[in-house]
Structure 1
Amino acid sequence: MSGHPDTADGGRRDQIRSHLLALRERVATACEKAGRDPEDVTIIAVTKTYPASDVRILAGLGVTDVGENRDQEAAPKAADCDDLDLTWHFVGQLQTNKARSVARYADVVHSVDRDRLARALGSRARAEGRQLTCLVQINLDPESAVGELGPRGGVDPRDALSVAEAIDAEEGLTVGGVMAVAPRQGDPGTAFARLFQVASDIRDRYPQARVISAGMSGDLETAIEHGATHLRVGTALLGDRGPIVG
């Protein structure tokens, strides 16, 4: 896999380092306002459309949580970086027929929103001899019909515990917490407050489920204010999206 322009040279490393310093400052400032410890917030670098060489730069800068949206891009990238000590997060919508591939490299799957997907992941995790942490994806968009998966996916908040139970029933899977994307319309703070409540309900049942995956480049401060433990950041860390060349 060849790289994004300037990916391999020192200029790209300097660019990513500069973005990372600015991002960490944003996180620290938001945590201070929220009375939280920045050490309790993990940055996941979403490297969609960026090459493995950027992942290597990030790892050298201490960012070892890497997120991907599409299996066809994630699988070869994870293989390219197999020598690094990384935690791979699958953060995109996942079809059951991709469960086998994702179970081979992902450590955390953020987008479990139905029982059938939990069963498929459990089966594949057992076949691969791996343990996957799964997050229940919550639909926070009030414009979506109840039960509608849509482009962003997610289960209705009222059904979140049912999906968590389906995950817990599968040997090879662990209930890790929740994930959500802010709605396209409306106040993200209200949505993230709702997510925090759902997360608390799940954690009451499954004490290890402490992850709240929420917040991206544009709304991470609001997510931190409402308890996010993991931020999924692409543009603010790697710059504007560009196609992988090669």
Structure 2
Amino acid sequence: MTKDGDSPLEELMQVLGHSFGDPELLRTALTHPSALTRRSGRQGPRQKGGQDNQRLEFLGDRVLGLIVAEMLYRTFGKEDEGAMAKRLAALVRQEGLAHVARSIDLGSHLILSRGEAEGGGRDNAATLADACEAVIGAIYLDAGLDAARRFVERHWSSLIAADSKPPQDAKTALQEWAQASGLPLPIYQVVESSGPPHDPTFTVEVRVSGKRAAKASGKSKRAAEQAAAASLIAELRS
């Protein structure tokens, strides 16, 4: 519970369960690239100076992967590397990160340009996932691995417990279907990309020899490939 008079950053720290010694790390983790981009014309300047959250996102991605890998190692003591790798990939992808970000209302604290905010940026899955990784990176820099581990364990333990069997991603399922049918491996091709550099959308087509192609879009090439594979495997199995 927050107290009257707390600043937004202090309120978020209470939700995160970590009081930052350097609050600027948290502020940087919340700063979307759009907030620092200069723009001209009637709309006026954006925030100048400072850093966006991309470097912290890079760091947080690695910290999250290490902690979740350790959690999986301890939780599933009899599983082999391949099974744990599937679990890890599913747990650290965009959907899981966005779920955690929404559970702590991270979107309301993001520092965005006006256009990004008006365009739904506070609930954009890719934006939320990036910010969540950046927050993990910020906690790690502020107080070390144990502090980051406490945050990750609090929010990922239930996600780990929810899957009794290793998940199979759509690309793997489509590949195995093609191999079982005696067909060449699926071919993926980016057929369109749109949007600004900090928030692109990719459209990918996947094709299996002799079968209809399927297309899907996503905020990353990987996400678009997974969505296209899921669409095609569902059609092939129907």
Fold match (TM-score > 0.5): no
Of Structure 1 and Structure 2, which has the larger fraction of its residues in strand? 1
Of Structure 1 and Structure 2, which has the larger fraction of its residues in helix? 2
Give the structure, 1 or 2, with the largest relative contact order (CA under 8 Å, sep 6 or more): 1
TM-score, with length taken from structure 2: 0.26
Specify the structure having the higher radius of gyration (Cα). 2
